[in-house]
Structure 1
Amino acid sequence: MLNHWDRWISKRFKKVRLRCQKGIPPSLRGRAWLYLSGGKVKREQNSGKFKELDSMDGDPKWVDVIERDLHRQFPFHEMFVSRGGHGQQDLFRVLKAYTLYRPDEGYCQAQAPIAAVLLMHMPAEDAFWGLVQICEKYLPGYYSAGLEAIQLDGEILNALLKRVSPPAYRHLEKHKIEPILYMTEWFMCAFSRTLPWSSVLRVWDMFLCDGVKIIFRVGLVLLKSMLGSREKLKAGLGQYETMEILRALEPQYLQEGFLIHQVLELPISSRDVEREHRVQLRRWRKTHGELSYKAPPRMHGAHAIMSAEPHTRQDLRQKPTIIVQYPLPSDTKSEFARVKKRSTIRKAPNPKVEVTNPYSVSCTH
C-alpha cells in the first residue's frame, strides 16, 4: 500500500480508511502516520530543513519553557523516563525546531504530548514534520496565542452535542458549563493524555486518516456516555460534580472495544463539522469581532491533504532506514579476469613413477 500511496489515496481511499479503522499494524504505524499526515511529502520537499533548524539556537524564552516541560511527557514510558535521555533530547529538538519554523506561534504546552506520541513511532525528523502537519493542517490555530480556534471548536462540539445527546446538552447548559472548561485538553492533545494507550493509538489511526471529525466524535461519545442517560442525571449533579465526572471519566467508556465501536457508529461527518464551523464563526464575529489569528483552512484527513498539496512520485518513494555498502576492489574486472584465468589453467599430470619394493622377498619351494 505504501509503495503506491498516491494511487491508494486517490482511487481506493475507502480501503485505506477501513484499514485505519481496524487498526494499523504496529510495525507499520510510524510510516503510515507519516504518509497519512502528508509529513512524508513535506519532508522530501524540505530536505535538510530540520537539520538546519536543529543546528540553530532556539529563542531563550521558548527553550526555557520547553526544558521545564520535558519530564512531564509520559514520565513512565521508557523513552522519557530518564532526564537527559535520548527520548527527552529528541523531544526537545523537535519542539525547539518548531518554534524556529513557526516563530509566530512559538511553543504551546499541548504540543509536547503530540510530539512525544509521534516520537514513539518515528525518528526525530519525521516526528517534526508530523507535528508540523498536525498543527497546520489538522488543528490549525489550536496552539496560537489566545486559543481562539479551540474556543470556536468548543462551540461546534456543543452544537453537535445538542443533536447527538439532548439530555447531556441540556444538563451542561443548565449548569452553565462552557465547553472550554472540559474539552481543551481533549482536543489540543488529541486525547493522548485522556485515553488508555491502546485507545489512543486506534483514535490516532483514524484521526490522521479522516481528520478532526474523529476528535469531535470521541468527545461526543464520552459526553453522551457520561451525561446522556436520565439515570445518571437523576443523581442531582451540580456544576462541581459534573466537572469532577468529566475529569475522571469512567474506565469502561475509555476501553478500545467500546470507544472505537461507538465512534464509528456516530453519524458525524466532516461536512457536519464544516457546516457548524461556518455557523459558529458568524456568531463569533457578531460577539467578538474578527479572529485575531488567521489560521489556514483545516484539512479533513489524508485524502484532502494529498489533493491540496502537489507532490511527485519521488516524494512518496520509500527510502531504506539502514543502508549497507560493501566496499569493492578498485580494479574489479582485472581481479575477476585473473581469477578466471587461474581457474582455466590445466595442470600437467604428474609423471607416474614406479617405486621398487625394497623389502621384496623371494620364495623358494
Structure 2
Amino acid sequence: METSNDHYYPISQCLSHSESNVSNSFQLSNNNRSCNKYGFFLDNDCDDQDHDTPSVQDLKAIRIKERKWLQMLNNWRYYINFKWDKIRDRCRKGIPHSLRSQAWFHLCGAHLQRNRFPNLYGELLKKGIPSDVRDDICKDLHRQFPNHEMFADPSGVGQTDLYNVLKAFAAYRPNIGYCQAQAPIAAVFLMHMPAERAFWCLVALSKYYISGYFMHNLEDIRIHGQMLFAFLKKFTPSAYSLLNRQNIEPEIYMIEWFMCIYSRNLPWPSVLRVWDMFLCEGMPLTTLFTLFTRFYYIDSKTCQKLRNISKSSLTEDSLIRGIKRFELRDIDLLKEHGIQMKKLQKSKKQLK
C-alpha cells in the first residue's frame, strides 16, 4: 500500500488550487469577525453574553478556584491517590478556563505517557502512513468546528496541528488508523493545548476511556449502547418502553453522543463542563449525563422531546442537578458490561 512520508501537514497535498483560493478569501472574510471567549465566531446580529465584563466578585471567585487547582496540580500524585473525591467534586464545579489545559492533561494521565516517551510525537510525524488514511484525514479537517477561529482557515495553524495529531495517532496505532470520531476529540483538545499534548490526550482516551470506539467494527459502542438501554429501563422506564415499543435501537441515537463525547451536541460551556467531569469520572459520567439530558423528560407517548431538548435542561447547573438524580456505581457498570458481553458472544456463536 502506498504511504505518505510527509513530516508536517503538506497543505498543498490536501488543498486543490480552487480550495486554496477559497482559503485566501475565507481568511479575508473572517479578519473582522468578532469571537466569543471560547474562540467561536459571533453572528453579526447576535449579542454574546460572554463579552460581559465579569464583576469584581466573579473575579475573586475565579481566583480562589485557580489557587485551589494550582495547589492540586502541584501536588497531583497525592491528590490522585488519596483525594480523588476532592478532584471529582472540583471537576463537577468546573475547571478554571486558565488551567483547563493542565488539568485535562493530568486527569487523563497523558502527562505520564509524555514523560515516558518525550521524543515519540516528533518521531511519529516523520513516519509514513497509508495514503488512503492520509486522504481520509484531509477530507475531514475542514469539518471540525469551522465556526471557530482556530479551524476556520484551511491553511491555518489549527488545521495543520489537527492533521499532525491525527497522523501521529494513525502512525502510533496502525491497527486502528483513523476514524472520524477522532477528529472532533482532537480538535477540542487543540483548542486548549499544544499539538503534542493533544496527541497524548487522544492516546490516553483511546487507551483508558473509549478503548474500542475507534475500531472499525464499533463493537464497544454497541455494547455501551445496550448498557445504556438497560440503565434506561431501570431509571426512566417510560422512555425505555417508548423506544422499545417503536424498535428504536440505541445505536440510532447515541453513537455520536458517546463517540464525540458530546462535543457536537451541547452549548459550548456545557461541553467543557462535561469534559471536565468525563476526564475525571469516565464512562459512568457519560451514561448518567445521557440518561438525564436525553431521556428524563420523555413521556410514554412521544419522542419529540428527544429531538427538541429545551436549552434550560442543557445548562451547566442543570447538568449537575440532573446527574445527581441517578445513582450509578462502577460496580453497576462492570456487572452490566459482563451481561452484555455474554449476550454478544452468544449471538456470535449463533451466527456461525
TM-score, normalisation: structure 1:
0.74
Q: 1:194 to 1:202 in 2, by over 3 A?
A: same
Of 249, 255, 260, the match for 2:320? 260
Query: Where does residue 352 of structure 1 map in the other structure?
Result: none
- 1:282 and 2:307 correspond: no
Letter of the 2:96 partner, please give it.
P
**Structure 2 residue matching 1:72: 3-state secondary structure:** coil
Equivalent runs, 1:74-223 vs 2, <5 Å: 74-223=145-294
Q: C-alpha separation between the residues in 1 aligned to 2:349 and 2:74? A: 47
Could you tell me how far 1:264 is from its partner in structure 2?
3.2
- 1:11 and 2:82 correspond: yes
Could you tell me how far 1:223 is from its partner in structure 2?
3.0
Letter of the 1:250 partner, please give it.
S
**Structure 2 residue matching 1:140: 3-state secondary structure:** coil
Could you tell me how far 1:263 is from its partner in structure 2?
1.5
Task: Identify the range of structure 1 (256-265 vs 31-40) with the bigger mean alpha-carbon deviation.
Answer: 256-265
Q: Which runs of 5+ in 2 are unaligned?
A: 1-71
Could you tell me how far 1:288 is from its partner in structure 2?
1.9
Structure 1 vs Structure 2: percent identity of aligned residues?
45
Q: C-alpha separation between the residues in 1 aligned to 2:306 and 2:161? A: 33
Q: Which runs of 5+ in 1 are unaligned?
A: 291-365
Task: Identify the range of structure 1 (261-270 vs 60-69) with the bigger mean alpha-carbon deviation.
Answer: 261-270
Could you tell me how far 1:260 is from its partner in structure 2?
2.3
Q: C-alpha separation between the residues in 1 aligned to 2:310 and 2:136? A: 33
Task: Identify the range of structure 1 (259-268 vs 147-156) with the bigger mean alpha-carbon deviation.
Answer: 259-268
Equivalent runs, 1:208-357 vs 2, <5 Å: 208-227=279-298, 229-230=299-300, 233=301, 237=302, 242=303, 245-289=305-349
Larger Cα Rg: Structure 1 or Structure 2?
1
Query: Where does residue 29 of structure 1 map in the other structure?
Result: 100
Is the 1:203–1:260 Cα contact (8 Å) retained in structure 2?
no
Could you tell me how far 1:245 is from its partner in structure 2?
4.9
Letter of the 2:310 partner, please give it.
E
Could you tell me how far 1:247 is from its partner in structure 2?
4.4
Higher relative contact order (CA 8 A, sep 6+): 1
- Size of the aligned set, in residue pairs, is 279
C-alpha root-mean-square deviation of aligned residues, in Å? 1.4
Letter of the 1:24 partner, please give it.
I
Q: C-alpha separation between the residues in 2 aligned to 1:117 and 1:249? A: 23
Is the 1:168–1:223 Cα contact (8 Å) retained in structure 2?
no
Letter of the 2:332 partner, please give it.
D
Could you tell me how far 1:289 is from its partner in structure 2?
4.0
Q: C-alpha separation between the residues in 2 aligned to 1:144 and 1:251? A: 33
Is the 1:50–1:97 Cα contact (8 Å) retained in structure 2?
yes
Could you tell me how far 1:57 is from its partner in structure 2?
2.9
Letter of the 1:99 partner, please give it.
A
**Structure 2 residue matching 1:61: 3-state secondary structure:** helix
Q: 1:254 to 1:191 in 2, by over 3 A?
A: same
Q: C-alpha separation between the residues in 1 aligned to 2:324 and 2:210? A: 21
Could you tell me how far 1:226 is from its partner in structure 2?
4.2
Q: C-alpha separation between the residues in 1 aligned to 2:308 and 2:214? A: 25
